[in-house]
């Protein structure tokens, strides 16, 4: 296959390009890092890039939690307008296969169970609770403590910040494109991706990158809240392999199918900081009690659908991945 990879010079996109080429596919990189005119919001440039292409792997996006709503217009422009321009060009060019870089942020909080009321969906955490160090969401019915679990793809979407809203909009746009063109669309809902080439020292870098940078400066990683937030940290090579698997498998024409893409092994943010500190030889993490509005408490993946339906499985375990991450950039 000849595959156009938008954002193909970026963190995840560059690994997707590598994985495609290793599987014998031709990867065409489309990225503003290589060429300033290679913006997915540029209809002429996108149309030219699609010439002779069999499929698109859409990685280009503005990522991260951002700054409240101050940068909402930029997120919408890059993520949603860019996706709309790309999809329109694909429809015109007759390209009918898409894999989208989705995100677990579309769920908001993860899956919770109340001893009395079963599965419940807590609302956004109150500032007064966060200020007081009450980080765990409680049952919205009775106020009881909740047990976090793995969230499946059928969970209702509940984006809690601007970035999350744009990622959900990308899925809706892609689903509309699939219906109108009889195309096949897959959204891989990435969980917390880390690994070589991860952005560093920018407002949109991931938490693993921030922790590593602190350690390299000789500083303790600063862990927000109490460090017990549960996440699913998945290595970028495993994510790249999932993209190739999805491109090769395709899906039912006229629909968008979403797949959680995670390691399936929950770890806390404190676990992450301690693993990186151990790999680097210290210092130990500092639990700060600070918080960010818009962050969710727990979100971990049930990736069994991707394993069962497409035969993908992660290969890099947490400890191995963290050691490698501290050695590479």
Q: Strands, DSSP E only, in the chain?
A: 2-6, 26-30, 55-58, 97-103, 111-114, 118-120, 147-151, 184-190, 192-194, 222-223, 230-231, 233-235, 255-261, 267-268, 286-287, 300-301
Active site residue 194: no
**Residue 101, pLDDT score:** 98
Query: For residue 66, is pLDDT > 70?
Result: no
Taking 70 as the threshold, does the pLDDT of residue 79 lie above it? yes
Residue 15 has a pLDDT of: 98
Question: Which pLDDT does position 251 carry in this prediction?
Answer: 84
**Helix, strand, coil distribution of the chain in percent, nearest 5:** 35, 20, 45
pLDDT (0 to 100) of residue 33: 86
Whole-number percent of the chain with pLDDT over 90: 87
pLDDT at 205: 67
pLDDT in tens, 240-254: 999 999 999 978 999
Helix, coil or strand: residue 158: coil
pLDDT(177) > 70 = yes
For residue 329, pLDDT over 70 is answered with: no
Question: 37 or 189: whose pLDDT is higher?
Answer: 189
Domain spans of the chain, in order of start: 2-110+151-327
Task: Return the CATH class of domain 2-110+151-327.
Answer: alpha beta
Identified catalytic residue from 112, 163, 194, 259? 163
Contact call for residues 231 and 267 (beta carbons, < 8 A): yes
pLDDT tens digits for 196-216? 999 887 666 689 999 999 999
């Amino acid at each position: 296959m000849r595959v156009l990879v938008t954002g193909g010079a970026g963190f995840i996109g560059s690994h997707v390009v590598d994985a495609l080429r290793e599987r014998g596919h031709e990867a065409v990189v489309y990225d503003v890092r290589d060429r300033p005119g290679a913006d997915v919001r540029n209809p002429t440039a996108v149309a030219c890039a699609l010439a002779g292409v069999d499929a698109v792997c859409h990685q280009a996006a503005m990522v991260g939690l951002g700054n409240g709503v101050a940068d909402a217009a930029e997120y919408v422009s890059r993520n949603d307008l860019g996706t709309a321009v790309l999809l329109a060009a694909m429809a015109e060019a007759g390209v009918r296969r898409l894999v989208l870089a989705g995100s677990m942020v579309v769920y908001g909080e993860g899956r919770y169970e109340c001893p009395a009321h079963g599965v419940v969906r807590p609302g956004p955490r109150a500032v007064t609770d966060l200020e007081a160090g009450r980080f765990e969401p409680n049952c919205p019915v009775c106020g009881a403590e909740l047990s976090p679990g793995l969230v499946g793809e059928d969970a209702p979407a509940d984006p809690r910040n601007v970035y999350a809203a744009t990622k959900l909009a990308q899925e809706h746009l892609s689903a509309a494109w699939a219906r109108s063109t009889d195309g096949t669309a897959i959204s891989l809902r990435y969980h917390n991706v880390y690994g070589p080439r991860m952005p560093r020292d920018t407002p949109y870098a991931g938490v693993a990158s921030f922790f590593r940078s602190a350690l390299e400066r000789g500083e303790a990683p600063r862990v927000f809240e109490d460090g017990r937030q549960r996440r699913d940290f998945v290595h970028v090579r495993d994510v790249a392999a999932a993209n190739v698997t999805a491109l090769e498998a395709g899906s039912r024409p006229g629909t968008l199918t979403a797949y959680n893409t995670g390691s399936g092994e929950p770890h806390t943010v404190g676990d992450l900081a301690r693993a990186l500190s151990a790999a680097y030889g210290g210092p130990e993490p500092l639990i700060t009690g600070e918080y960010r509005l818009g962050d969710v408490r727990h979100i971990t993946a049930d990736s069994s659908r991707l394993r069962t339906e497409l035969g993908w499985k992660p290969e890099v375990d947490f400890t191995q991945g963290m050691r490698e991450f501290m050695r590479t950039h």
